[in-house]
Structure 1
Amino acid sequence: MSLYKHKKVVAIGGGHGLGRVLAALNVFGSNATGIVTTTDNGGSTGRIRHCQGGIAWGDTRNCINQLITEPSISSMMFEYRFKGAGELNGHNLGNLMLTALDHLSVRPLDAINLIRNMLKVDVNIVPMSEHPADLTALSTEGKWVTGETSVDEMQQDLLRLDLDPEVPATREGVHAIEHADAIILGPGSFLTSVMPPLLLPEIGHAIANNTQAKLIFVENLSPEYGPAGRMSLAKKLEWCERACQAREIDVILGAEPHPELLDKWNCITRDLASP
C-alpha cells in the first residue's frame, strides 16, 4: 500500500484507452492524474461544440465513467444517452452536464471537480487545456485538414500535426507531470488521443524536464486505420520523443514483440487485454 501512498502517476491521452488506464490506477487515488485530450469534434461532443463552443467533453466524461466505483442515481444520470429521432438523439447527458457546469463555473476544471466530488471519484482528471482548439494536420501532398474526424479519414500520410489556435496547457496538468514518478502515454488512437496533449509546449517541456520519472508508452489495444495505421511503431515513438524535446521513452509496453526496436528502446511484451 505504501507504493500507492507515496508514488505519483500521470497518464496522458484520450478515448477509451485513457479511461481503462485510469481505472487500473484507481488504487493510487488522488496520487493519480489523467490529462485528457480535448480536441474531439465527432459524435455528441462535436455537436455540442458546434452549437455551444468550449472544449470537447466526451473523453473526460468517459474517464470519469471508468472511475465510478459506487453506482448511484447520479452515476446513472451521468452515463445516460438519449435515444429517439429528436435533437437529443445520441447526446450523452454527462456531456450536457459538464457543458452546463462549465458555463456556470469560472473554469472547466471546476466543472470536472464538481462532477468528481458528486460521483466520489478520487483520481484527478485534468483537461489538457481549458481553451477550445482543433487538431489540424498537413499531408505529404501539402493539404491541411482540420478536426479529429478529418485527420482520421486522411488518405495521405502526415507530415505534421498542430493545434488551432495555439492554446495554453492547464497548469494543474503541468504541475502533475513535474512531480510524477511515472508518466504514461496511451493507449489510444495515436494521432487523435495521444499526440494532442504533447502538442502543447508546456506539457512537452514538463515531460522533458522530469528526468526522474519513468516515461512509458503503451501501444494501442486494437489496430488503427487511416494515417495512424500506416505509421510504424518506431515512427510513433519518434514523434512522441520529438514533442517531448528529445526526451527518451524508457519503456514501450505492448502485446506484440518488436525485436527491430530493441537496439534503441526497452520493449516489454504483455497481454494488455482485460481478462
Structure 2
Amino acid sequence: MSIGLLKHALRKLKSDRGKLAAVGKRTPKQFNRWFKWLSPGLLVKRWLVISAIGVVLTALGLAIWIKLTPIYRLIEFVSAVLGTITNTVPSYVSGPFALALGLFLIFWGQTRTVGSITEALQPDSDRELVDVLLAHRRLNRGPKIVAIGGGTGLSTLLRGLKHYSANITAIVTVADDGGSSGRLRREIGVLPPGDIRNCIAALADEEKLLTELFQYRFQAGDGLSGHSFGNLFLTAMTEIAGDLEKAIAASSQVLAVRGKVLPATLSDVSLWAELADGRLIQGESNITKAKGQIRQIGCHPTDPPALPAAIRAIEEADYIIIGPGSLYTSVIPNLLVPRIREAIANAKVPRIYVCNIMTQPGETEGYTVAEHIRAIDRVCGKRVFDAVLVQRQSPSPQSLLRYAQENCYPVFLDREEVTNLGCRVVLANVMDEDEETGYVRHDPHRLARVLLRWYGGR
C-alpha cells in the first residue's frame, strides 16, 4: 500500500513539475517583452519619466493655485480610509498587496497601450513594437556605407547590407542602354532606370512584394511588351518630379526604402570601348556582345559632372564598397566620372573591392584577381581601394562544367601579384550556388556579414 502511495506521489510531483515548467516557458517570454522596454537607446523611458513628472507638477500647480480648499475633504477622506485599512489589515499584508496591485495595473496598462499602438501601426505584422524600435535604433546607429556599382551585383550587396545599417548610399551607373531601360532612354529621353530600380527594390522593407512588382515585365500590349513596371514607374516619377534624383527620392519615401539610391551623374552618358583587335564599340550593351578583349574604355561626354549628393556621401562615408558586378559595364562606368574617383581616392576610410566569382565573356575572359585590380587602376590612374574580397572555394564540378560551356571560369587568385600591387586579400566563402541551374552568385547575407566583420576589424 505504501509503495502504491509513493508511486502516486511521484507521478503527482512529476505532473506538477511539468505544469510549472510550462508556466515558466510562457512567463519569461512576457517578462522579456516588458523588460525590452528598459533597453538603452529606445528614447522611450526618458519621455515616460518626463510625462510622469509633468503629471505630478500639473497636479501640484493646480493644488497651489486653488489653495487646496476644494480637496481638503478629499484628502481627509483618503487619510481616514487608509487609516482604517492599516488598522484592520496588518501593514505587512496591505503594503505588499497595494504595491503588487499598482505594479500589475502599470504593466497591464502599458501592455494594452503598446498593443493598441502596434495594432494601429503594424496591423498585419507579427513583430512586437519594441522589437521594431530596437531594430530601428540599431540600424540608425550603423556605419555610413557607400556602395558603388550597378547591375544585379550591387542590388545583391544592398539586400544584405540593409540588415546592418540604415545609413547606406548606393551610387549607381546610368550607362545602361539595353532592354527596357534602353528603349525608354531612346524613346522618352530619360536616364536608364533599370539598375536604380533593382537597388530601390533591394533596399525596400517589403522587399519580396516590391521585387515582384518592380521586376514584373509586361508580356503583351502594344509598346508595353518587354517593359518592367519599375522602369515605367521611375520614368513617370521623373516626369512628375523634374529629374531622376528627385524621382528616386520621392519613390524611396513611398516605398519605405532603407538608405538612399543616387545616380553617379545626371548626364546622358554612353560608353565606348576599344578592343585589342582595333574595333571601337559604341554603347554599353554592344561591348559585351562584341566578344573581344577590352583594351580601353571611356564615355561620352568625356568628363561627366558628378551628382553633388554622391560626392557628399563619399566624403561623409565610414566605409566604401566597390562592386560586385560586371567590371567594364557596371563598376568602371561610375569611376569614369572624375570627381567620384577622386573622392574615393582621397577618402581616409576603409575601402574594399568585391571581386566577381566567375569571369565574364566579352569583358573579363581569362582575367585573374590582379587583372581586375589593374583594369580599375588604369581608369583611375591610382589605387582607390585598400583590399579585395575574393571567394575562397570553387563552385561544384557540375557548375564548373555548366559555366565552361559558356567559356566562363572561376577568377583565379594570383595572391603574389595582388600583394605586389599593394592590395590586401580578404578570403571568404560568400557564394550562393543554385543546385538546379548551376548558377553561382554572391550570397547577400554572407557577403554583408564578411564585409562588416572586416570593417569592424579595421
Aligned-pair CA distance for 1:181:
1.7
Q: Does 1:207 align with 2:344?
A: yes
Shift of 1:63: 0.9
Structure with the larger strand share: 1
For residue 54 of structure 1, give the secondary structure of its aligned residue in structure 2: coil
- Do the aligned partners of residues 191 and 122 (structure 1) sit closer, same or farther apart at CA in structure 2, a change above 3 Å counting? same
The CA distance in 2 between the partners of 1:71 and 1:255, in whole Å, is 26
Q: Is the 8 A contact 1:218 1:253 kept in 2?
A: yes
Find the aligned partners of 2:139 and 2:201 in 1 and give their Cα distance. Answer: 25
Aligned CA distance change for structure 1 residues 165 and 248 (closer, same or farther; 3 Å): closer
Query: Unaligned regions of 5+ residues in structure 1, if any?
Result: none
Aligned residue type for 1:216: I
CA deviation after TM superposition for structure 1 residue 230, in Å: 3.7
1:104 maps to 2:240:
yes
Name the CA distance, whole Å, in 1 between partners of 2:177 and 2:221.
21
AA matched with 1:262: T
Contact 1:4–1:27 under 8 Å retained in 2: no
Task: Work out the CA distance in 2 between the residues paired with 1:244 and 1:106.
Answer: 32
Deviations 1:165-215 (A, max 9, x none): 2321111111111111211110001000000000010101101111x1111
Distance 1:77-1:248 versus aligned 2 partners, 3 A rule: closer
Aligned: 1:177 with 2:314? yes
Give the SS at the match of 1:155: coil
Percent of aligned pairs with the same amino acid: 34
Partner of 1:126: 262
8 Å Cα contact 1:157/1:230 also seen in 2: no
Check 1:241–1:70 CA distance in 2 against 1; reply closer, same or farther (3 A cut). Answer: same
**Range with greater deviation from structure 2 (195-204 or 254-263):** 254-263
Q: Quick check: 1:188 aligned with 2:325?
A: yes
Q: CA deviation at 1:75?
A: 6.6
Q: Of the two, which has the highest radius of gyration? A: 2
Q: 1:235 to 1:172 in 2, by over 3 A?
A: same
Corresponding residue number in structure 2 for 1:83: 219
> 1:208 is matched by which residue type in structure 2?
A
Name 1:146's counterpart in structure 2. Answer: 282
CA distance in structure 2 between the aligned counterparts of 1:265 and 1:148, rounded to whole angstroms: 29
Q: Which runs of 5+ in 2 are unaligned?
A: 1-136, 393-412, 432-442, 447-458
Structure 2: how far apart are the matches of 1:181 and 1:258?
A: 29
Separation in structure 1 between the aligned mates of residue 380 and residue 279 of structure 2, nearest angstrom? 26
Name the SS for the 2:363 alignment partner.
helix
Higher relative contact order (CA 8 A, sep 6+): 1
Amino acid in structure 2 at the alignment position of 1:199:
L
Distance 2:359 2:367 in 1: 11
Cα RMSD over matched residues?
2.3
* TM-score, reference length from structure 2: 0.56
Deviations 1:64-95 (A, max 9, x none): 11122226987754343211364211210110
* Structure-2 residue corresponding to 1:69: 205
Residue number in structure 2 paired with 1:259:
415
- Alpha-carbon deviations, 1:111-136, whole Å to 9, x = none? 00111111100211001111211111
C-alpha displacement of 1:52:
1.0
Shift, 1:259, TM fit? 2.5
1:101: Cα distance to partner? Answer: 1.2
Range moving further from structure 2, 222-231 or 30-39:
222-231
Output the amino acid matched with 1:232: T
Is residue 30–residue 122 contact of structure 1 (8 Å, CA) maintained in 2?
yes
SS at match of 1:227: coil
Runs of 4+ aligned structure 1 residues displaced above 3 Å come to: 1-4, 27-30, 71-79, 242-245
Aligned pairs (5 A) from 1:10-49: 10-49=146-185
1:46 shift after superposition: 1.1
- Which residue identity does 1:259 align to in structure 2? R
Change (3 A) 1:85 1:229: farther
Once the two structures are TM-superposed, the CA of residue 29 in structure 1 deviates from its matched residue by: 4.5
1:39 CA displacement: 0.8
Task: Please give the secondary structure, in 2, of the residue aligned with 1:237.
Answer: helix
What residue is the counterpart of 1:243 in the other structure? 379
**Count of aligned pairs:** 274
Q: Normalising by the residue count of structure 1, what TM-score does the alignment of the two structures yield?
A: 0.91
Q: Distance in 2 between matches of 1:49 and 1:71?
A: 26
